[in-house]
C-alpha cells in the first residue's frame, strides 16, 4: 500500500464554507496536544487511567492529535521487567482499555509501549482512534551508551520482518515508513518517531516529511541532565524547520524511577522552527499541552521552497516505500473553536523590547550597508533627499547620515530639500528644517507652488483659474514637481536621488507613478513597512543617536498625522490635514494584511480570521510597550472593510507601479515587492478570486 498525494492533499479543502467561520479547522489550523501524565513504574493499569484522562481532556478541547511519552504504558525505567510476561500482558490490557475509552472520540492518540513481534521485543508507538488501531511505529535507533541500555531489552526497527501485525484482534500496519492521513482534513498527515531517532544525523521523520507528513511526533522519555533541555529545543526547532513541518515532542515526567536518573517532563510543539507551546518542567502533576498549527502555511512553504521538491525527487525510490493509513477525523466544524495561538498584531515589529531593538538595529544596518555599496559602486559620494517632515523621508535621511559616517564622508554631502506646496503645514515644514539641522546636512527650501501653478495653467486645470478643484491631477502635479526638482538637483550637484517610499505604500499603490515619489536613483525604504519605520525612527530617538534636540524633533515627527499634504484643508481629519489612513485604512491593519498576503499567501478569509484574533480585543495579547502605542481594536466588519481596500488596490490597481521600481535592498523575510526579488506578478491581473473569498467573511 503506497502513499498517494491527491490534489486536495496539496491544496486543502477545509476553508470551503463547510462550517462556522469561527472554527479554526475551517482555516486549515489543526489543534495538536501533548499529554504528560504522572506514571507509576511497571503499573500499566494506572498509567492507562492517567492517559485516558488526558486523552478525554484533549478531545474535549478539540484536539485532532494527542501524543504521550515513550513507553508510557509501562514506564520507561522498567529495565529487565520488560522481559516479564505479566508486564507485557498488562500493557496490552492497558491499550485495550484506551481503545474502549476512545470509541466516541475523534482525536488520534499515540501512546508508547513494548510490543512482542516475531518472538522479539520492540519499543513502539501505537496510534489509535475511535477504538481502531491505525499504525504501529517501532523505534529505529536504540541508544546503548552512557546511561542507556535499550539494546539489552529491545530490537531495532530494521530487524523486524513483519509489515503488518495482529494486535488485540486487529490487523494493523507495522514499520517506520507509515503515515496516518485524515480523510476529511487532507493537510493533516502524521508520522511518529521515538526519542533517539531525532538525535541521529538523518532522523526517520526527515523522510516522512518528504513523503508528505506535515505533523511529526516524537514519543520520548529522555532523562534530564544539565543543559539538555536547551539542546532538545535546538533539535526540535531545527528538525521542524528543515522538514517544514510541525513537530510534537513528548517526554516522561514524574513517576519514572529515580534509581540513577531524573526526569523533567519537558514537552513542546514547534512549527517550522518556531516554538508554539511548551510544558512546565519538574512538576508532579499531569499536564496537557495544546497548540494550533497552521498546516496550510507548511504546505505552502513546501510548494514555495523548490529545494524541498528537489529533495523529494532525490529520495523518490525510498519515499515510494511509505504506506498510508487513512481515517476520518469527524470533527464538529459547525461549532465555534477559537484559535489557541499567539498572533502578533504587528508581524513586522516584535512586541518584546529587546527583540524589537535588535530588529531595528539589524534593519538599519542592512539599509546602511546597501546604500554604502551603491555609493561606492557608482563612484558618487553625494545624495539628494526630499524632506517632507514626515516619517519616510526622516528615516531615509537617518540612513543616509549613518552611511556618510560609515564612509568617513561629511554629512554635508547630503543635500536635504524641503519643498512646500499648496497644502504644506507649518508644522511639517518646521520639522523638516529642524531635522536637517540636527543631522547636519546641507538644507535647502524650494517653493514648488509657482512651478505647479504654471503647469496647472498649461494644462488648463480649473485650479489655475481660481476654482477649488483638488483632483488627482492637482495632487500629482505637486508630487511630480518635487521629484523633477530632486533629479535636476542631483544632475546639478553630482548626486544620487535617495528614494523614501516604503513597502506599505508600494503594496497599496500609494505613490505617484513615474515622475513622482515612485521614482529615485536608489530607495532604502522599499521593503520596510510603515509600522516598522515608525519604530525605527523611535529607536533612533530613544537611543539619542541625534542628541537631545534630534530626539525632540524625531518624537514630534512621530506624533504627526500621516498625510501627503497635497490637498488644502478639507476636514477629513481632526487636524484638518488630508489623512492618508482615512483614505486607505489604518496602516497597522494594512501591514497585517500585507504580511499574510505576500509572506504567508493566505486567503482574505483567513487573514480576517487571524486579524480578528489579533485585533478584536485590545485587552488580549501582547502590545509593544510605551505610551505612544495606540491600543486600537477592530470589529470583524471593520477588518473586512479595510481588507477589501487592500485586496482591490494590491491585486487589481497597483502592480504596474511595482513592476518598474528602483533598486532597493530586501530587508526582511516579510517580503519585497521588487519584480527582481520576491514578487513577480502581471500588471493587468484581476482581483475577482480574492474578492469572492472576501465575501465569505461575515458582515
Q: What is the largest CA-CA distance in the chain?
A: 102
pLDDT digits (tens, 9 = 90+) for 645-659: 999 999 998 999 999
Per-residue model confidence as pLDDT tens digits over 37-68:
999 999 999 999 999 999 999 999 999 999 99
Q: State mean pLDDT over 394-404.
A: 98
Q: pLDDT tens for residues 289-338? A: 999 999 999 999 999 999 999 999 999 999 999 999 999 999 999 999 99
Q: Kindly tell me if the per-residue pLDDT of 572 is higher than 90.
A: no
> What crossing angle do the helices spanning 353-378 and 391-407 adopt, rounded to 10°?
60
Which pLDDT value is given to residue 585? 97
pLDDT at 576: 57
139 is catalytic: yes
The region of weakest confidence among 251-255, 617-621, 622-626 is 622-626
Contact 480, 646 (CB under 8 A): no
Query: Which has the minimum average pLDDT: 9-13, 88-92, 640-644?
Result: 9-13
Strands (E), 195-281: 215-219, 246-249, 268-271, 274-278
Give residue 570's pLDDT: 54
Query: What's the predicted TM-score (pTM) here?
Result: 0.93
Which residues make Cβ contacts (< 8 Å) with residue 294, sequence separation at least 6? 28, 29, 271, 341
Query: Has 70 been annotated as catalytic?
Result: yes
Average pLDDT of the residues in 73-82: 96
Cα dist from 391 to 529, 535, 555, 603, whole Å: 11, 10, 10, 30
pLDDT score of 448 more than 70? yes
**C-alpha to C-alpha distance for 185 and 455, rounded to whole angstroms:** 61
* 487-531 pLDDT, tens digit each: 999 999 999 999 999 999 999 999 999 999 999 999 999 999 999
Alpha-carbon Rg for the chain, nearest whole angstrom, is 30
Please report the pLDDT score of residue 3 as a whole number: 35
pLDDT at 477 over 90: yes
- Look at residue 573 and tell me whether its pLDDT is greater than 50: no
**What is the band of 569 on the pLDDT scale with cuts at 50, 70, 90?**
confident
**pLDDT computed for residue 327 by the predictor:** 98
Retrieve residue 461's grid coordinates: 486645470
C-alpha distances (whole Å) from 528 to each of 349, 373, 395, 508, 555 are 11, 19, 10, 14, 20
Among candidate residues 176, 173, 177, 186, the one with its CA nearest the CA of residue 64:
186
Q: In terms of Cα–Cα distance, which of 93, 375, 77, 411 is closest to 222?
A: 77
Instruction: State residue 9's pLDDT score.
Output: 31
**pLDDT at 627 (0 to 100):** 83
In DSSP terms, 498 is beta-bridged to 522
Range in 69-83, 216-230, 503-517, 562-576 with the lowest mean pLDDT: 562-576
What is the CB-side half-sphere exposure of residue 211 using CA atoms within 13 A? 26
Q: How confident is the model at residue 575 (pLDDT cuts 50, 70, 90)?
A: low
**Of the listed 139, 606, 640, 657, which one is catalytic?**
139
Residue 652 annotated among the catalytic residues of the structure: no
Q: What is the full DSSP assignment across 126-172?
A: EEEETTEEEEEEE-S----STT--HHHH-B-GGG---SEEEETTEEE
Q: What pLDDT digit, counting tens, does each position of 181-222 carry?
A: 999 999 999 999 999 999 999 999 999 999 999 999 999 999
* Residue tagged active-site, from 39, 70, 196, 481: 70
Arithmetic mean of pLDDT, 399-406? 98
Q: The C-alpha cell of 379 is what?
A: 563612484
The share of the chain scoring above pLDDT 90, in percent, equals 93
Helix (H) or strand (E) holding 319: helix 316-319
Mean pLDDT to the nearest integer, 224-251: 97
Q: Is residue 8's pLDDT more than 80?
A: no
For the cut 60, the answer to whether the pLDDT of residue 602 exceeds it is yes
The CA distance from 51 to 97, in Å, is: 10
Q: Is the pLDDT of residue 13 over 70?
A: no
Among 39, 91, 195, 452, the one annotated catalytic: 195
* Mean pLDDT (the chain, rounded): 94
Q: Check pLDDT > 80 for residue 249.
A: yes
The predicted model gives 577-592 an average pLDDT of 93
How deeply is 663 buried, as exposed, middle or buried, from its count of CB atoms within 10 A (0-12, 13-18, 19+)? middle
698 CB-contact burial (10 Å; exposed 0-12 / middle 13-18 / buried 19+) = exposed
Amino acid at each position: 500500500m503506497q502513499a498517494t498525494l491527491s490534489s486536495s492533499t496539496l491544496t486543502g479543502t477545509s476553508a470551503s464554507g463547510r462550517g462556522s467561520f469561527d472554527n479554526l479547522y475551517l482555516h486549515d489550523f489543526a489543534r495538536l496536544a501533548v499529554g504528560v501524565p504522572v506514571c507509576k513504574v511497571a503499573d500499566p493499569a494506572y498509567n492507562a487511567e492517567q492517559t485516558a484522562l488526558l486523552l478525554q481532556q484533549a478531545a474535549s478541547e478539540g484536539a485532532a492529535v494527542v501524543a504521550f511519552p515513550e513507553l508510557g504504558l509501562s514506564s520507561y525505567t522498567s529495565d529487565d521487567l520488560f522481559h516479564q510476561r505479566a508486564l507485557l500482558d498488562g500493557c496490552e490490557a492497558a491499550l485495550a482499555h484506551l481503545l474502549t475509552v476512545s470509541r466516541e472520540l475523534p482525536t488520534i492518540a499515540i501512546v508508547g509501549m513494548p510490543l512482542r513481534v516475531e518472538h522479539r521485543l520492540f519499543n513502539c508507538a501505537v496510534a489509535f482512534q475511535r477504538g481502531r488501531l491505525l499504525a504501529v511505529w517501532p523505534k529505529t535507533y536504540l541508544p546503548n551508551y552512557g546511561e542507556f541500555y535499550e539494546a539489552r531489552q529491545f530490537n531495532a526497527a530494521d530487524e523486524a520482518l513483519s509489515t503488518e501485525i495482529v494486535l488485540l484482534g486487529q490487523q494493523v500496519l507495522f514499520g517506520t515508513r507509515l503515515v496516518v492521513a485524515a480523510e476529511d482534513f487532507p493537510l493533516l498527515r502524521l508520522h511518529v518517531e521515538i526519542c533517539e531517532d531525532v538525535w541521529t544525523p538523518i532522523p526517520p521523520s526527515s523522510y516522512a516529511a518528504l513523503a508528505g507528513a506535515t505533523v511529526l511526533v516524537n514519543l520520548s522519555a529522555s532523562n534530564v541532565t544539565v543543559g539538555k533541555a536547551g539542546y532538545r529545543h535546538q533539535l526540535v526547532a531545527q528538525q521542524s524547520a528543515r522538514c517544514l513541518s510541525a513537530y510534537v515532542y513528548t517526554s516522561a515526567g514524574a513517576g519514572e524511577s529515580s534509581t540513577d536518573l531524573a526526569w523533567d517532563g519537558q514537552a513542546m510543539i514547534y512549527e517550522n522552527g518556531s516554538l508554539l507551546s511548551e510544558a512546565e518542567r519538574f512538576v508532579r502533576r499531569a499536564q496537557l499541552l495544546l497548540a494550533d498549527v497552521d498546516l496550510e502555511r507548511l504546505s505552502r512553504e513546501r510548494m514555495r521552497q523548490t529545494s524541498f521538491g528537489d529533495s523529494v525527487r532525490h529520495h523518490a525510490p525510498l519515499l515510494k516505500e511509505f504506506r498510508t493509513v487513512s481515517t476520518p477525523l469527524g470533527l464538529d466544524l459547525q461549532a465555534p473553536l477559537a484559535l489557541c495561538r499567539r498572533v502578533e498584531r504587528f508581524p513586522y515589529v516584535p512586541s518584546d523590547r529587546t527583540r524589537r531593538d535588535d530588529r531595528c538595529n539589524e534593519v538599519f544596518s542592512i539599509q546602511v550597508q546597501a546604500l554604502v555599496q551603491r555609493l561606492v559602486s557608482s563612484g558618487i559620494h553625494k545624495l539628494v533627499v526630499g524632506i517632507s517632515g514626515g516619517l519616510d523621508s526622516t528615516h531615509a535621511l537617518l540612513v543616509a547620515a549613518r552611511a556618510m559616517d560609515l564612509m568617513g564622508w561629511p554629512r554635508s554631502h547630503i543635500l536635504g530639500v524641503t519643498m512646500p506646496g499648496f497644502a504644506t503645514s507649518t508644522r511639517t515644514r518646521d520639522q523638516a528644517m529642524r531635522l536637517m539641522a540636527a543631522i547636519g546636512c546641507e538644507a535647502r527650501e524650494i517653493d514648488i507652488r509657482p512651478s505647479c501653478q504654471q503647469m496647472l495653467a498649461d494644462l488648463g486645470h480649473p485650479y489655475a483659474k481660481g476654482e477649488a478643484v483638488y483632483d488627482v491631477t492637482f495632487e500629482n502635479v505637486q508630487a511630480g514637481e518635487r521629484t523633477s526638482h530632486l533629479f535636476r538637483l542631483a544632475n546639478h550637484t553630482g548626486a544620487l536621488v535617495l528614494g523614501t517610499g516604503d513597502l506599505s505604500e508600494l503594496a497599496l499603490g500609494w505613490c505617484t507613478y513615474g515622475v513622482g515619489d515612485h521614482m529615485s536613483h536608489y530607495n532604502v525604504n522599499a521593503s520596510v513597512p510603515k509600522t516598522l519605520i515608525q519604530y525605527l525612527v523611535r529607536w533612533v530617538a530613544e537611543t539619542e543617536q541625534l542628541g537631545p534636540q534630534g530626539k525632540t524633533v524625531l518624537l514630534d515627527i512621530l506624533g504627526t498625522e500621516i498625510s501627503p499634504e497635497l490637498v488644502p484643508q478639507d476636514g477629513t481629519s481632526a487636524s484638518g490635514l488630508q489623512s492618508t489612513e482615512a483614505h486607505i485604512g489604518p496602516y497597522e491593519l494594512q501591514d497585517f494584511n500585507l504580511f499574510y498576503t505576500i509572506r504567508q499567501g493566505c486567503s482574505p478569509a483567513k487573514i480576517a480570521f487571524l486579524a480578528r484574533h489579533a485585533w478584536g480585543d485590545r485587552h488580549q495579547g501582547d502590545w509593544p510597550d510605551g505610551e505612544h502605542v495606540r491600543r486600537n481594536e477592530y470589529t470583524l466588519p471593520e477588518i473586512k472593510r479595510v481588507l477589501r481596500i487592500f485586496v482591490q488596490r494590491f491585486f487589481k490597481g497597483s502592480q504596474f507601479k511595482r513592476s518598474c521600481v528602483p533598486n532597493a535592498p530586501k530587508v526582511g523575510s516579510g517580503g519585497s515587492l521588487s519584480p527582481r526579488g520576491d514578487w513577480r506578478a502581471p500588471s493587468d491581473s484581476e482581483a475577482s478570486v480574492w474578492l469572492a473569498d472576501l465575501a465569505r467573511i461575515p458582515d
